Amino acid sequence: MEVEPARRDAAALDPELLQLAELAPGALRENSIIADALYSQWLVLPETTKLVKSLIEDAKTGAVLNVAGSSASTNAASSGSLPSMFPAGSAPPLSPRSTSGSPRVMRRGSGAGPSSLGSPLKLVSEPVREVIPQFYFKNGHPPTKDLKEQCLSRTDHLFFGGEGLQIQEFRSVTKDICKLPSFFSSVLFKKIDVACTGTVSRDAFVEYWINDNKITMDMASQIFEILRKPGYTYLTQDDFKPVLKELLATHPGLEFLQGTPEFQERYAETVIYRIFYSINRSGNGHLTLRELKRGNLIAALQQLDEEEDINKVLRYFSYEHFYVIYCKFWELDTDHDFLIDKENLIRYGNHSLTYRIVDRIFTQIPRKFTSMSEGKMGYEDFVYFILSEEDKSSEPSLEYWFKCIDLDGNGILTSNEMQFFYEEQLHRMECMAQEPVLFEDILCQMIDMIGPENESYFTLRDLKRCKLSGNIFNILFNLNKFMAFETRDPFLIRQERENPTLTEWDRFAHREYIRLSMEEDGEDASNGSGDVLLHEFGWTWMIMVVKRKNCKVGGYPVEAIVDSADSVTPKTTYKFYCADLIRYLSVILLCKHFCLAGKLGREVGGRPAVSRQQPQQSQMIL
């Protein structure tokens, strides 16, 4: 047998090899015979027998087991260390341990640092505990000493006298110390004046703004804390109403609305609806701090506080945009009950939408209606619809129409679902004697346009990655925009590239505002309200036409319009201006013997007043 040679080999081992802690981990594993021989020889030693019996007795009595030593039995002296395999007095002395380690270990480590296989008796120094500074503060990071002293100095200057400030005087505190838009003054004042005393003392302001660490928050967090109700973790539409109320009362660009409070209310509602449409991506009406920070509302508020022309603040607050939305709703709401049904909505955009997509909207799949009437949408629902329809490049719009086309709600648009909506488009093209485009050809174009990850279907992620994805929906259910895309004017494309900051909605709202205001002014002129200045240019009308070869405007040659300058009517002027001025900028129309723009602040046919601000040079070119 091989056991006897193994025992002889074990007896001939260098005693230093018994320091198993210094052996490589696989030294004994590679030669298991030697390990078995060593273990067998160790078991037959007298000391081992005593140790095993002592452990058994300790286990029976329930004493704490300690193999390495400190046994409670009389074998404490002999159990302090493992029994040696050599007879007493015959074991050779161990070589002294080197502080630099064994030569074998040094060769094995190749200077890579201390070995991880060192003796277990070696003391390990405890690691130095690193003190991590506090990085989370429940009520915000406290201000630095310099910032606090600076803020207190300005506070003492504005609260000089110690009698406190009333709400009219608090505006400077909001603007200069808090660095917030001035129309947040009333909301901040009432937030501090909890007892409704009508004044805010210096101590009350310091406690709320400085001691409560509002001063170190970013502006989005400050506005969120000021607007939200106690105990709520989100903002609702009602939280923005006090801000809009003060804006309407103080902003110079909205002074002309002060005589029409009903339109002030509609303007405020429209602004709030637009804010929640763009920022509240969850669509639950609860605007969180995260959503507020990710949106562009804060930048719009800062611009609004510095800009006197309200129409230059295109995000959310433009009066021209409100005017277009409201007038579009008013045109469709024939009975003026402030509700729209399917038959009303099908007339939108000169019957541009298909019946199938209108039916899909009224199933409330893309968005639940807020109106309480069955089968009718209210003004808020219409705001969401028109913003989605006129700017299909925005993410809220893509999500809105994606839900409409996704008939089974599985999160993908298949060819069958898209063909279902395109069939009505194809029928309409045939009725209009236009050359129909087969769905198979259209599907290939859409796949090339979007470049989806899987060509058998479209996902919302595919659409959001492509800038032209809005045209997919126009192809499926908006015939007018589909044909316009197929025959798009290179001049308009170049114009869009020259001003890429404008969205599709901005361009649409500007065109429609001019058309609607000209429509209203034409009604004023036909009713005999002359001898006023044109609101768009501010000059008495004259006709000046720059002739262009083969150019027709309003269906009339340029020469015919020049020759019949004295017989220009409101209808031909309106047709000329709206239909062709966008396409032919070389034709400049002013008017002779014909004046527009009625009295300031007047409403016509239930519409709000047209904004009569002096136009800038950029407003004269669409």
Q: How far apart are the first and last CA of the chain?
A: 105
Which H or E run includes 553? strand 552-553
The C-alpha atoms of residue 349 and residue 372 are separated, in whole angstroms, by: 26
What residue ranges define each of the domains in the chain, with the CATH number in brackets?
138-217 (1.10.238.10), 219-317 (1.10.238.220), 337-518 (1.10.238.10)
CA-based nearest residue to 478, from 406, 433, 428: 428
The C-alpha atoms of residue 353 and residue 335 are separated, in whole angstroms, by: 21
Decide: pTM greater than 0.75: no
- Looking at residue 457, what is its pLDDT? 94
- Looking at residue 123, what is its pLDDT? 56
Radius of gyration of the chain (CA): 42
The rounded average pLDDT for each run of 10 residues, N- to C-terminus, in the chain (622 residues) is 53 50 58 77 82 83 58 42 49 51 46 48 66 78 86 87 84 92 94 90 91 90 94 94 95 91 94 96 93 94 94 94 95 93 94 94 94 92 96 94 94 94 91 86 92 93 91 92 80 71 91 86 50 33 35 42 40 40 37 31 55 44 33
The C-alpha atoms of residue 433 and residue 483 are separated, in whole angstroms, by: 13
Structure tokens at 133: 């500074």
Per the DSSP assignment, residues forming a β-bridge with 459 are: 412
Query: Nearest 5°: CA angle at 59, between 79 and 64?
Result: 65
The C-alpha atoms of residue 418 and residue 445 are separated, in whole angstroms, by: 13
- Looking at residue 569, what is its pLDDT? 42
Structure tokens at 595: 């004046």
Number of neighbours of residue 300 by Cβ within 10 angstroms: 19
Structure tokens at 471: 């045209």
CB-count burial class (<10 Å; 0-12, 13-18, 19+) for 183: buried
Per the DSSP assignment, residues forming a β-bridge with 413 are: 458
The C-alpha atoms of residue 51 and residue 67 are separated, in whole angstroms, by: 8
The C-alpha atoms of residue 483 and residue 434 are separated, in whole angstroms, by: 10
- Looking at residue 521, what is its pLDDT? 64
CB-count burial class (<10 Å; 0-12, 13-18, 19+) for 605: exposed
- Looking at residue 611, what is its pLDDT? 66
The C-alpha atoms of residue 440 and residue 432 are separated, in whole angstroms, by: 21
CA-based nearest residue to 48, from 59, 61, 39, 57: 39
Structure tokens at 126: 């405890």
Residues of the chain by 3-state class (helix, strand, coil), percent to 5: 55, 5, 45
CA-based nearest residue to 365, from 412, 395, 418, 404: 404
